[in-house]
Amino acid sequence: MILHIDMDAFYASIEERDRPGLRGKPMVVGGNPDKRGVVAAANYTARRYGIHSAMPTSQAKRLCPNLIVLPPRHSYYAQVSQQIRDIFHRYTPLVEPLSLDEAFLDVKHSHLLFGEPADIGRRIKREIQDELKLTASVGVAHNKFLAKVASEAGKPDGILEVNPAGVQVFLDKLPVSKLWGVGKVGNRRLQNLGIHTIGDLRAQTPEMLEDLFGSWGGTLWELAHGKDNRQVVPDHKAKSLSHETTFAEDITDVEALRSWLLDMTRQVAMRLRRNRLRGRIVHVKIRFADFRTITRSRTFPQSTDVTQELWDTGLALLMQNLPLRHREVRLLGFCVSGFDPAGPCQADLFDEAARSRQVRLDTVSDWIQARFGSAALTRAAELVHSAE
């Protein structure tokens, strides 16, 4: 059995925990509304105004003029994320982080020590609440897709188990927008065909869905039937490390996409260093609102775990592959593969001095995050990101 554990409004909840006076007030963590900033997280009070992540902060301010906007403290959130991950590892070594605020846990071998999967989920929730004063939502199911949908259905601060015998009863009544990858445009196309729920979609043929959505149509048909064969793979055993985000609303703003890609790059780079891995290949994945998906990659001459090198390459791939007439983007992903164990690597005579500075910066930055948890050290690119 698999747990999907997702922290509730993670960045915003940490800020509310540390500043109790913010509770009950509309608040977001994000960039400057006067400089094309983007909402990274919104508390539940702000969400009542229609505010959500990936929304331009200026638009959020228009929806709620008294909105409180706080700059992100990425290094601090990373420290709290590690504390949460330490709690996960009390129950299973099979933990696959998806981002700072969510992970899959395979607990099929944990029941003799800790009880049934749902009981393990409740224990983890309680320990996160008691030790960190934060809430999490938990989905319990026999595969990743169902566990993730269940955790979302149980938000906030809930736990929901999907039994194998009740999969279709659980899925069929949900709107098709709950399927991974179905955004605003895809949802509209399905609605126009009279396909409103997952049950409606399940009644269609795979061929019909492939005609409509290409290769993704077959995947949608599988998901509608509750099928997902992916395994939980811990970082240290993975052949690649990645982070991708399906946006609540499709994005056309290039600066917003840059901001999200920077956040993904930072998270993946930290996971590489934590697991003593270096990668040779950087991949950027873009799914447009019409379901067309492209993945582009670039190979380094030597493996790296350096944030700046990964970011420079990822940003170049993003900018080279956005159309001149920029279409709406539904999903953005960043991935590193082609691992070599961390250790001495061949020097580049032309760039070694600059590279050494970046390695030292990453080393010191990681140490400060682990030791102090505040953004006491910030790279120049992140200053721009925070200001935007």
Same domain, 284 and 202: no
Answer left, alpha or beta for residue 276, where phi above 0 means left and psi between -120 and 50 means alpha: left
Dist CA 160 CA 139 (whole Å): 5
101 is in an annotated binding site: yes
Same domain, 307 and 247: yes
User: At residue 9, what are phi and psi to the nearest 5 degrees?
Assistant: 45, 55
User: What is the pLDDT, as a whole number, of residue 94?
Assistant: 95
Same domain, 150 and 20: yes
User: Scanning the structure block, which residue is given the tokens 């400089």?
Assistant: 35
Question: Catalytic annotation on 309?
Answer: no
Same domain, 266 and 366: yes
Q: Which of 102, 161, 382, 388 is catalytic?
A: 102
Same domain, 383 and 241: yes
Dist CA 43 CA 132 (whole Å): 17
pLDDT mean by block of 10 residues, the chain; 388 residues:
96 95 94 78 94 88 95 86 95 92 94 94 97 97 96 94 94 90 78 92 90 82 93 88 83 84 89 89 90 89 90 93 78 92 49 56 55 45 40
User: What is the pLDDT, as a whole number, of residue 372?
Assistant: 47
Same domain, 20 and 115: yes
Same domain, 266 and 383: yes
What is the tens place of the pLDDT at every residue in 46-92? 999 999 888 888 899 999 999 999 988 887 888 899 999 999 999 99
Same domain, 15 and 115: yes
250 is in an annotated binding site: no
Residue 22 in 3-state DSSP?
Answer: helix
Same domain, 148 and 18: yes
Same domain, 333 and 383: yes
Dist CA 315 CA 254 (whole Å): 11
| Number of domains into which the chain is organized | 3
Cross-strand bridge partners of residue 175:
197
Same domain, 277 and 367: yes
Same domain, 190 and 312: no
Query: Can you give the residue range of the structural domain that contains 138?
Result: 1-155
Choose one of 177, 193, 224: the last residue of a domain: 224
User: What is the pLDDT, as a whole number, of residue 376?
Assistant: 45
Dist CA 355 CA 61 (whole Å): 40
